[in-house]
Chain A
Amino acid sequence: MRLKCPANFRIIRLPCTGKIDVIHILRAFEKGADGVYVVGCMEGDCHFKTGNFRARKRVAQAAAILDKIGVGGDRVKMYNLSSGEGPLFAQYSIEMDEKIRALGPSPIKVALQAKKEAA
């Protein structure tokens, strides 16, 4: 389809979004990610029945933790689409890229960089 999408995100493949856990999202932030978005199948279409519902809850849990520690829960988001919706995948990546750019770099990343420069 040769769709245009931002080149600044890294795709981590999972067998099902139900595999994702809160710690996976938090670790990404701990390593300096500015945002994380999870793309699962359409709700009701999960091959494993509830995988994407579980993922949605865990994304919400991660967001709540990020809010409490001052990183910002709006840096994580869950999207749903079907495997045939490549253009929508590209659209979501552009949307997330714009959202994170508007929020600016993650305070963790800023602090890690400051620490590196000081060393």
Chain B
Amino acid sequence: MIIADKKPIEEIIQEVKDYDRLLVLGCNECVTVCEAGGKKEVEVLASALRMHFIKEGKEKKIDERTLERQCDHEYLEEIRDVIDQYDAVLSLACGVGVQFTAEKYHSTPLIPGVNTCFLGANEQRGMWTERCQACGACILARTGGICPISRCAKRVMNGPCGGSSAGKCEINKDLDCAWQLIIDRLRDLGRLDDYEIVAPIKDWSTERSGGPRTVVREDVQV
């Protein structure tokens, strides 16, 4: 899922201070699971903002709403009848949700309430780690199910590099060397011969370096 982290309240206050009618808009998907922008976080942030502005003696309307998703037309349509009641929307969705909401409600300023971080897994309660960089051409079948693009600092395709030491990466002694993990797993799977196969030069055009990407699936289009 998409992992996001909360923005500091001070930063949010600075961004919203000029708007008198604000909608704090949460998202029920990824940001709910990573506890950054779900219904609970919307309630807490809206309450904190209301208190801050009451204390400052400012009269502001700060409402709360959480949509099923902010990256789908049908759920975003749910706020069409109320959007005119607000001067701005503080969206706690990921960057996708914020932008999609901004595109849909062109005349309403959108403010992000979270920092969108990466595609990751919930490794343990309160800890999320990166697992995918959405390169658009998955090679996990060849690397024992461990991704050298997202988990190797250098994105080395035929690793490890010389910076791998005792199974750790040179950039951080707490960071596992992805290629050490790959070799260990291939050995456990009895497929260490796969390691001998030199990976071809990767086609990076499906990655971000090829510009913003689009997936078109005519088979599911109506």
Contacts and interface: CB of A to CB of B under 8 A. Distances in A.
Contacts of A98: none
Contact of A107 (B10, B13, B40, B55): B55
B140 interface: no
A65 B43 contact: no
Interface stretch (A12-20, A37-45, A66-74): A66-74
B51 A22 contact: no
Interface in A15-63: 21-23, 26-27, 29-30
Interface SS of A by simple majority: helix
Nearest to A71: B51
Contacts of B50: 30
Contacts of B208: none
A94 interface: no
Size class of the contact patch on chain A: 10 to 19
Interface SS of B by simple majority: helix
B44 A70 contact: no
B9 interface: yes
A111 B50 CA distance: 12
B61 interface: no
B43 A23 contact: yes
A112 interface: yes
Contacts of A115: 54
A21 B40 contact: yes
Interface centre among B13, B51, B57 (most CB of A within 10 A): B51
Size class of the contact patch on chain B: 10 to 19
Given A108-B54, A111-B57, A23 B47 contact: yes
B154 interface: no
B52 interface: yes
A71 B47 CA distance: 12
Contacts of B13: 69
A26 B57 contact: no
Contacts of A65: 9, 44, 48
A1 interface: no
Top-6 shortest CB links A-B: A69-B52, A26-B47, A23-B43, A107-B55, A68-B9, A111-B54
Interface of A: 21-23, 26-27, 29-30, 65, 68-71, 107-108, 111-112, 114-115
Interface of B: 8-10, 13, 40, 43-44, 47-52, 54-55, 57
